[in-house]
Homo-oligomer: A and B are copies of this chain.
């Protein structure tokens, strides 16, 4: 096997067209021989020799080689530093491991080119399937999803007619649960620190917050809304800006990283939490439970979403003919010290410390 041929096969994998041209037979004839369904002895010989000369590997063999190699499942997330993905990943890992496979994780940094590059790389079948949780969904994503030769499950909102296995939650409903809780405990100047409105979660949370206030007949004060990104430092800075012009008695934050930043600013600015300002985060991550006081947080069922996504993916790998399926996970609210009040019948636990 010469250097040149190797080089060729690394650059452009020989196809049935290459073999047919080399053997001087029709593509149909080459295909019949390569698929083992016959041909004259002379054609069989010519095609087999041509196949050996160009280093042709039948797709089936390539696939079986690949199947010897993989047993890997990929998870692509935006920010590996966001604890919400840690919980999702652990749940996925448990399902994947129980199927005898191993999980690998890609961090995309939320860059669309990274996400679509990963999806396109699936053409190389380096994994048996992928779970992806994009925070922005573009036409490029949908094209790459539809072209993917291996199964992909999307965690997050997709258009209703997207022909893709999908696990979602209702973050609008989740925001409403936070607002309902704060209103029930007497808060009225409820602020909101959100992520970018051009992201799927940012837009859903914004709509949810506005609808929830309206449902309680509370007029929206735009001074009580701030936008950063979905990170700790942004939450701290956004809360500084908000406190410079308004005096909320409660803050809802679009994730727990933002809420941790908001807590820092509130405490550094002398606000007592929850006495002066009640605080509710979102995603109900380990980070919320690591803060002091521990943060109330809306759970969007990240572990459950991960588990369901992994199950959908394994089912799809086992049976590629299944129709596209869609699963939903309901949000819930964990009330902890950062928004608890005497009149709130919170579930006491060893975890909880009232400040």
What 0/1 pattern do residues 31 to 67 of A give for CB contact below 8 A with B? Answer: 0001110000000010011011001011011101111
Q: Which DSSP category, helix, strand, loop or mixed, fits chain A's interface?
A: helix
Complex interface: stretch among A160-168, A169-177, A220-228, A286-294: A286-294
- Residues of chain B with a CB closer than 8 A to A107's CB: 89-90, 93, 103, 105
What 0/1 pattern do residues 95 to 125 of A give for CB contact below 8 A with B? Answer: 0000000111111000000100110010011
Closest to A337 in B: B268
Residue in contact with A353 in the complex, picked from B6, B62, B66, B268, CB distance below 8 Å? B268
Q: Given that A65-B13, A89-B80 are known contacts, is A126 also in contact with B72, CB under 8 Å in the complex?
A: yes
- Residues of chain B with a CB closer than 8 A to A148's CB: none
Decide if A272 is an interface residue (CB 8 Å cutoff). no
A203 to B61, CA, bound (A): 49
A5 to B61, CA, bound (A): 9
A121 to B101, CA, bound (A): 11
- Residues of chain B with a CB closer than 8 A to A55's CB: 58, 60-61, 64
Decide if A68 is an interface residue (CB 8 Å cutoff). yes
- Residues of chain B with a CB closer than 8 A to A104's CB: 74, 104-106
- Residues of chain B with a CB closer than 8 A to A263's CB: 292
- Shortest C-beta distance, A202 to chain B (Å), equals 21
B287 touches A264 (CB 8 A): no
10 closest residue pairs by CB, A with B: A69-B124, A104-B104, A81-B86, A10-B64, A105-B105, A268-B353, A1-B36, A9-B64, A267-B292, A1-B60
